Each structure stands twice: as C-alpha cells, then as structure tokens.
Structure 1
Amino acid sequence: MGFPGTWMTESESVVYRVVPKCACSTIGQIMYYSDHGTFFEGDIHDATQGLHKWAREESQAAIKANVKTHSSYAFTCVRNPYTRILSSFFDKICGIQRNGKRYRGNLVPLLIQKYGIEVGGEDGTEEFDQVKSFRRFLLFARDTIRWRRPMDPDIHWSAMSGHVSTFIVNGGRYDRIFWTEQFNEGMQQVLDAIETPKDVVLKEVPRFNESEGHGPKRLHPVEDYFDDLSMHLVYEIYKRDFELFKYDFENPGNKMPIGEIDLDEVHAKLGD
C-alpha cells in the first residue's frame, strides 16, 4: 500500500503525512520554502516538482526508503473534528472550487436531491439556512463513512485517525503530532528539530489557506451548528479522533485540545 498522502522535502530534511483540512497548504509551502528559499507559485497541492509526494510515482522509492528506516523526522497536524467538518462543508459543498466548478462534479446535485441540502444557489452567494443544511450534510458524511453509500467517504471528511494510521500501519513512526489550533508552537517545534537548507522564520510565513473564499461565510458560532443529534453523529464518525488527539467532544464551542497527545498511544491504537 505504501504511504499515501505523504510528502517529503527533496533534501529529505522532514517527512509529513498530509491530513486534509489541517493547515496542509501552509505546511507544504513551509517545506517547499525550507528547500528552495521561495514559496511555490499557486496551490502547493498542484506542485509536481520541488517536493516529494507519494502521488508522484518518481517520489515513491525515496519516500518509502526514508520512512521505512525512519531516516528523517516525521510529523503530522490535526484539527478539532467539529471545526474540521464545518470547514469541509463550507469549502467543498457550498463553495466553488479553484477550477470554477463545484467540487467533484455531481456531488452537490446529489446532495441537493437526496438529502435536501441547500448551498446558496448556483454560485454559493444566495442566503440559505446554514444550520439546517449542515446538519443534513452531516447525515450524508456519516452514511459515506459507515456504509460507503451513496459514495465512498471523501478525504476531507473521513476521520483524521484513518489518514494518520496508514503511515503507521505501513511501517512509519511519527516524531510529533501537533494541533492546527496551536500551529505556530507546533510547527516551530518541528523546525527546531530538523536541519533545513534554507532558514524558515515562521512569523514571516503567510497563511496559505487555499479553501478561504471558496464558499459562503459561516454566519454562526460553531456550537450553533451542533444539536444533540449532530453531536451524536460527530461522535459516531470521529470518536477515535476526539480520544487520540485530545479534543473536547462535550463542548463544540471549545476548539482547543484538553490534554496532551500521547504518541505511544497513537502508535499502539492506530498501528494494528
């Protein structure tokens, strides 16, 4: 199976397992900059050179050799499950993508038809009941994850623990997992632990939020989108994410972690 979603600098200074919707654009750009002294022009997800990616066939041997021998520092980044699924909804379901089209072509029409979701009209600018539509989207997300219908789960709303685990199951080991909510602190610890060809001054790095502006603005506080049923669905989908990455399931309004991530626990529970 290899190491899907894994990126590595060309200098092999660091290895990163991408978790969608968890600052991956910014992290990818920092890695690119740390080798080349410039940022990639455009979305780092589109880069086909300058950064090893498992999706590039010519990168696979180098990544595999490095990860199997744990030759470089390896890390990933996670995010509160409540804010992550909300972000996925506004970006991927309500938003128009970089190519000027809806995400995954017929996905949104399917959701409108089967789940009664509204997305703000053709261009996502019309008013609609965000809370009601989001809760219906949550049912759809649960259906894809539990029963793989009406389609397989999408990487942007499948559980973070699933992404994180493929790296471990196939022989990798993380040196650090940090939270999006404490990004500067976590990313700085990674940079302090590695040697890079170019120095990175973290406070001078712009935020590369490639999903920003794709969809309508969130009108309500996070907790308003989650009633008892929604919280139950979120727990059903993301139970391991809350437990392993120490987020507060009881309070959707608290995006901050409530404990320290135990790397040994993560490797033990996701490595089987």
Structure 2
Amino acid sequence: MGFPGTWMTESESVVYRVVPKCACSTIGQIMYYSDHGEFFDGDIHDAKGGMHKWAIEDSQKLIEANVQAHKSYAFTCVRNPYTRILSSFFDKICGIQRNGKRYRGNLVPLLIQKYGIEVGDPDNGFEFDQIQSFRRFLLFARDTIRWRRPMDPDIHWSAMSGHVSTFIVNGGRYDNIFFTEKFNEGMQSVLDAIKTPKPVDLASVPRFNESEGHGPKRAHPVEDYFDDLSMHLVWEMYHRDFKLFQYDFENPGNKMPLGEVDLDEVHAKLGD
C-alpha cells in the first residue's frame, strides 16, 4: 500500500500527508518555498519535481524509508466536515476546473440525470437553487461512500480519517495534526519544530486557493444548507471525523473545533 498522498521536501525537513480540501495547495507551496526560496509557478499539485511525492515513482523509496524510520517531523491538516463537503460541492461539482472542463468528465451529467442536481453555468452567472442541489449532492456522496455506487467515493469528499489513517496503518506517526480554521497558528507550530533550508515568513505567504473563482460563490450561511436529513447524512459519512478531530456536529454554523486533536487517540483509533 505504501504512503499515498504523502509529500516530503527534497531536504527531508518535513513530511506531510495531504488531505484534500484542507489547505493542501498552500501547505505544498510553503514546503516548496522552504527548500527553494521561491514558490512553484503553477498549481503545486502539478509539480513533478522540486518536492518528493508518493505519486512520483522515484520518490517512493525515499518517502518510505523516511516515514518508517520517523526521520522527519510529520504532520497533516484537517477541516470542519460541513465546510469541507460544501467546498467540494462548489469547487468540484459546480466549478469549471483548471483545464476549462467539468470535473471528471461525465460526473456532472450523471448527477444531473440520476440525482436531479443543478449546477448552473458561467453564462447565467451560476444561477440555481444551491441549497436544493447541495442536499441532492449529499445523497450522491453518501451513496458513493456507503455502497461505492454509482462510483467509488472521490478523494475530495471521502472521510478525512480515511486519508489520515493510511499513513498510520503503514507505519507512519504524526507529530502534529492542526486545523485549517487555525491555519497560521498550526502551520507556524510546524515551522517552529523543523529546520528549513530557507526561512519562511508565514505572514507574507499568499493563500493558494486553486479552486477559487471557477464556480459559483456560496450564497447562504453554512447552516442553511444542512437540514435534519442533511445532518444525518453528514454524520453517516463523517462521524469519525467529528469525533477524532473535535468538530461540532450539533451546530453546522460553528466551524471551529471544540478542542485540540489527541494524537494518541488518533493513532490508536486509526492504526488498526
């Protein structure tokens, strides 16, 4: 199995397990900058060099040796499950992707046909009933996670605990799991714990939100998208995420975690 979704700086100063929709573009760029003193020109997910990634075959042995010996500081970043699935909907389902097309080709037509979802389009200013469509998307996401139908769950809406666990199950150990909602504080705690070839001034780092501006803006507060049934579906998909990462299930309007992540509990619960 190895360490899918794992990135490491070329200097091996730090190891990061990517969790999609949790500030991964910004984190990747900070890692790149910490080695090279400049940001990658483009989307860091497209970088084929300048950083080790599990998806690059030549990097795999280096990442495996490092992680299994816990040679470097290892971390990941998580996000409120309510805002994460909303972000996935607006970015991946409603948005136009970097290549100018819809995400995953025939996915959106399938959703329109089978689930009655509307997504709007750039020509009409993305006018559609966001709440109704999002709730129908939730049914689809649940079907993919629970029954792997009509397709396997996508990495952007599969549970964070699933992403986080592969690193542990295969012999890795996290030194830090921080919150997207407290990004500067969390990322600074990582930088304070490692030695980087180039200094990083976090306050001057831009936010690399590669999905922004390609789709509709969220028209309502977060809590308006989640009625009783929606919350039930979200719990079915993400109950482990809420419990392990201390997020508030009862109040979709509260994006902030209720406490700190207990690393020992995460390793115990996700390590089997």
Corresponding residue for residue 58 of structure 1: 58
List aligned pairs for 1:147-226, cutoff 5 A: 147-226=147-226
Matches of 2:106 and 2:126, distance apart in 1? 20
Aligned partner letter, 1:9? T
SS where residue 232 of structure 2 aligns? helix
Corresponding residue for residue 230 of structure 2: 230
8 Å contact from structure 1 (residues 161, 270) kept in 2: yes
Corresponding residue for residue 8 of structure 2: 8
Q: Deviations over 1:28-72 (max 9, x none)?
A: 000000000000000000000000000000000000000000000
Corresponding residue for residue 81 of structure 2: 81
TM-score by length of 1: 0.99
8 Å contact from structure 2 (residues 85, 157) kept in 1: yes
Alignment coverage as a number of residue pairs: 272
More off after superposition, 159-168 vs 120-129: 120-129
8 Å contact from structure 2 (residues 126, 215) kept in 1: no
Matches of 2:224 and 2:169, distance apart in 1? 37
Matches of 2:8 and 2:198, distance apart in 1? 15
Corresponding residue for residue 256 of structure 1: 256
Q: 1:119 to 1:57 in 2, by over 3 A?
A: same
Corresponding residue for residue 119 of structure 1: 119
Corresponding residue for residue 98 of structure 1: 98
Matches of 1:254 and 1:32, distance apart in 2? 32
Matches of 1:224 and 1:181, distance apart in 2? 20
Q: Deviations over 1:165-201 (max 9, x none)?
A: 0000000000000000000000000000000000000
8 Å contact from structure 1 (residues 83, 222) kept in 2: yes
TM superposition shift of 1:263? 0.1
Q: Does 1:133 align with 2:129?
A: no
8 Å contact from structure 1 (residues 94, 124) kept in 2: no
Corresponding residue for residue 22 of structure 1: 22
Matches of 1:217 and 1:114, distance apart in 2? 24
Aligned partner letter, 1:164? V
TM superposition shift of 1:260? 1.3
CA RMSD in angstroms comes to 0.8
Matches of 1:267 and 1:81, distance apart in 2? 20
Aligned partner letter, 2:237? I
Matches of 2:9 and 2:255, distance apart in 1? 30
SS where residue 15 of structure 1 aligns? strand
Matches of 2:126 and 2:54, distance apart in 1? 39
Q: 1:66 to 1:124 in 2, by over 3 A?
A: farther
Matches of 1:141 and 1:5, distance apart in 2? 21
Matches of 1:101 and 1:120, distance apart in 2? 14
Aligned partner letter, 2:242? F
Matches of 2:186 and 2:211, distance apart in 1? 22
List alignment gaps of at least 5 residues for structure 1.
Answer: none
Q: 1:172 to 1:123 in 2, by over 3 A?
A: farther
Q: Deviations over 1:125-182 (max 9, x none)?
A: 3310000000000000000000000000000000000000000000000000000000
* Seq. identity, %: 86
TM-score by length of 2: 0.99
8 Å contact from structure 2 (residues 77, 179) kept in 1: yes
TM superposition shift of 1:124? 7.2
SS where residue 49 of structure 2 aligns? coil
